[in-house]
Amino acid sequence: MAESYRGATSTLAGAVVRADRVVDGFVFGQCTVGGSDATPSVIELFDRLDRPDVRYVLLAGIAPAWYNLLDLHAIAEAVDRPVLSVSFEDSEGLEPALRDAFDGETLARRLETYRDQPPRRVVDLDGETVYVRAVGCSGSEADRIVRAFTPEGGRPEPLRVARAAARAAAAFRREL
């Protein structure tokens, strides 16, 4: 799942990409920019796909749509599959940015969700580096999954395809 946003909503796209890198399906949805509906939106996307053959859920990052945080544990429990969040930049974490953007109960809820997520692991991909959080599988299995779905460059193919689809869908929506 990846996203593209402009305005009040973010376009979400899920792409089914087989291990042989054949694209085998898409699903689209949305979540609120700055909201708290990204987790149920991702679960809804998965449910709408209705694909029991999907073995892993890969997510682009953990904070789509301006800190609309994903709860990887809740997603993994709902879809009953390993969930991997892949980010592409080194950082000290989201807490400082969350504190700058929110306060009060809104900040407290986001910090609780953020702190409950597994730590990021560094995964090297042929000279590129990604950062992976995984629920429902071991760290070594997460590394293997990310490498298996990254034929070249530093972005796993399901996330590359989903990002392109989300951008195209968002552009189409703007033209309507």
List of residues 6+ apart from 162 with CB closer than 8 A: 1, 2, 13, 14, 15, 60
Distance CA(171)–CA(78), nearest Å, equals 30
Helix, strand and coil percent figures for the chain, each rounded to 5:
40, 25, 35
- Residue 54 placed within a domain: yes
Mean pLDDT across the chain: 95
pLDDT of residue 6 exceeding 80: no
Nearest one of 57, 65, 49, 110 to 86, comparing CA atoms: 57
Nearest one of 162, 36, 67 to 170, comparing CA atoms: 162
- Residue 107 placed within a domain: yes
Residues of the chain above pLDDT 70, percent: 100
β-strands 83-87, 57-60 pairing: parallel
Rounded average pLDDT over 23-46: 97
List of residues 6+ apart from 75 with CB closer than 8 A: 39, 42, 43, 46, 57, 59, 83, 135
- Residue 151 placed within a domain: yes
Distance CA(26)–CA(19), nearest Å, equals 16
- Residue 95 placed within a domain: yes
Q: How many domains does the chain have?
A: 1
- Residue 176 placed within a domain: no
Write the pLDDT tens digit of every residue in 91-136: 999 999 999 999 999 999 999 999 999 999 999 998 999 999 999 9
Residues 114, 94 contacting (CB under 8 angstroms)? yes
Distance CA(145)–CA(170), nearest Å, equals 28
pTM for this prediction: 0.96
What angle is formed at CA 174 by the lines to CA 172 and CA 176, rounded to 5 degrees?
75
- Residue 116 placed within a domain: yes
CATH number for the domain harbouring residue 140: 3.30.2170.10
Residue 18 structural domain? 2-171
